[in-house]
Structures are given as C-alpha cells and as structure tokens.
Amino acid sequence: MKIEADMKRTLLGLAIACAPLLAHAGCEDNFAKWVQQLQPGRALDADRPAICKIWPANEALTIAALPLSRPGNTDIEGTDDLEVLVADTATGTIVAQGFEKSALQFDAVAIRDLAIDTARYQLTPQQRAFGIRVDYDNMSRASPYEAKVLSLYVMEGATLRTVLGSLKVQESGGEWDENCAGTRHETARTIAMGAADKSGYAALKVTSRTETTVSKLSAGNCVDRTRTAGPSTVSLQYESGRYEVPKDMRYSD
C-alpha cells in the first residue's frame, strides 16, 4: 500500500511539473482564435510566423506576438502590424494586449526571425517587462547587414504598453570584394538594471562593445586586423512613460 501511495504521489508530481510544458506545446493552437478576437477578418503573415511562450516569471501567463499582413505586401517588401498579447496559459483567454500599426517593415532588409525575451527586466518591485526581439538580415554577400532589435512591454491592467522601442542589441555590417579586401563592424549590447530614480523605475544600463575588422591581401594571404572599441555604458532613464533610445542605438528601416 505504501509503494502504491508513493507511486501516486510521484505521478501527481510529474503531472504538475509537466503541465506548463503541455500548455506551451499547444499555445500555437490559439493563434487563429486570438486573431479573430482582436482583428476580425485579418490574417497572420505566413512568412513571418507568430510566436508564443510561457512567461517563466509567472507560468500562469503566456506571451504571444502575432504579425498581421497588410494589403499590398509581397514576399520581399511590405509592412506588418503586430499584436502583442498576454493570455491565461490554461484557457487561452487574453488578459492584456497591445496593437502596433506598421510595427514590422521589410524590403531590402528582411525579417528573419521573431523571439520572445523573458530575461529579468524588473523595472519596479511590482512591474516586470518582457521583450520581443526581431532579427533583420539583408542576405547580401558584398554589403552584408544584420541587426537584432529589442522592444520591451509592461502590463497595465488589460493593456500592454511599450516602454522601450527598437533598441539594437546587435548590429553588424560592412563591405568587401567577395574575395578578401573589406571592412566589417559588429556591435553587441547588453542591458543591466540600474538604480531607480524619482520615477520609481530602474535605469537601463546599456553597455556597447564594437569590433571592427579590416581585411587586406598581403603577400598572397588574406590578413585580418581587428580593433575593439569599448565597452562603453549609457544609462537610459524612464521619462514620460518610456525609456528613450539614443538615435545611434535605435533601429529604423
């Protein structure tokens, strides 16, 4: 009897532990329902798939981002609206959402991926943000360009509000002759939480490091010379409801 009781407890524990994973495996099943509830008659962009993820900070909630095609889009050029939402993990019921018109633009620089960022962005003791990352890539050999762009959102009742928009957390580009000669730069940025100011919101400490590589033919060999700039840190303060991103750190199509 004791063995049977122990087995039941073990099976119950496994079921509880696996419940969030099972819910996550099915969150994609809610995409069509969410679109019709929030944007009746609209369609998801099949080339830029919708994404969802259970929020590790609160596994009762699931985060989703839904790119919506706009009229006139082609396979290589266009603009998508974006619905960002938080839903009840167990039922799929939307508890908060935010709509961004023309949030995703693509032409010579294509959108390659979307991802949900659930790092510990604790802005206040009560307010934790999550992020949506967008990867851009122009797929050029002679003049390559790539960028990873982060926006942060917070829940305020049934509304999701953007508090940080289009920060380039990674960017690389350059030009070369497709043989050897050329220049390439790559900048990576990290975010750390700073002290709170009078607004009650923590500062975002953005640290940047840039590597520049120059390649040249020398005695028949391709020789790379790399120099590193940084690290340098900028503190973004919360003002007028958001963190203002400096122009050189902000992505614009």
Q: CA-CA distance, 141 to 226, in Å (whole number)?
A: 20
What pLDDT does residue 193 have? 97
Across 20-29, 125-134, 175-184, which has the greatest mean pLDDT? 125-134
Mean pLDDT throughout 80-87? Answer: 97
Where are the chain's structural domains? 2-242
Asked whether residue 5 carries a pLDDT value surpassing 90, the answer given is no
Average pLDDT, rounded, for the chain: 90
**pLDDT, position 7:** 44
> 228 - beta bridge partners?
211
Q: Is a pLDDT exceeding 70 seen at residue 13?
A: no
Q: What is the pLDDT of residues 199-251, one digit of tens each?
A: 999 999 999 999 999 999 998 899 999 999 989 999 999 999 999 999 999 99
Task: Tell me the C-alpha distance between 81 and 98, whole Å.
Answer: 11
Please, which pLDDT band fits residue 77 given cuts at 50, 70 and 90?
A: confident
* Res 58 pLDDT > 80: yes
pLDDT at 153 over 60: yes
pLDDT at 132 over 80: yes
Q: Enumerate the β-bridge partners of residue 249.
A: none
CB proximity list for 167: less than 8 A, separation 6 or greater: 149, 150, 151, 189, 191, 206, 245, 249, 250, 251
Question: According to the model, what pLDDT value does residue 73 have?
Answer: 79
Query: According to the model, what pLDDT value does residue 68 have?
Result: 96
The residues, ordered by sequence, that sit 6+ positions from 173 with a Cβ below 8 Å of its Cβ are: 143, 144, 145, 146, 184, 185
Consecutive H or E run containing 47? none
Burial class (CB in 10 A: 0-12, 13-18, 19+), 204: buried
Phi, psi of 87 (to 5 degrees): -130, 160
Residue 24 in this model has a pLDDT that exceeds 50:
no
Mean pLDDT value of segment 90-112: 93
Q: Is the pLDDT of residue 10 over 60?
A: no
pLDDT, position 207: 98
Report how far residue 225's alpha carbon sits from residue 189's, in angstroms, rounded to the nearest whole number: 22
Say which residue, 64 or 49, is predicted with more confidence. 64
Dihedral sign from CA coordinates of 36, 42, 46, 52:
negative
Residue 71, pLDDT > 90, answer no
Give the position of tokens 């082609």: 74
Asked whether the predicted pLDDT for residue 135 surpasses 60, the reply is yes
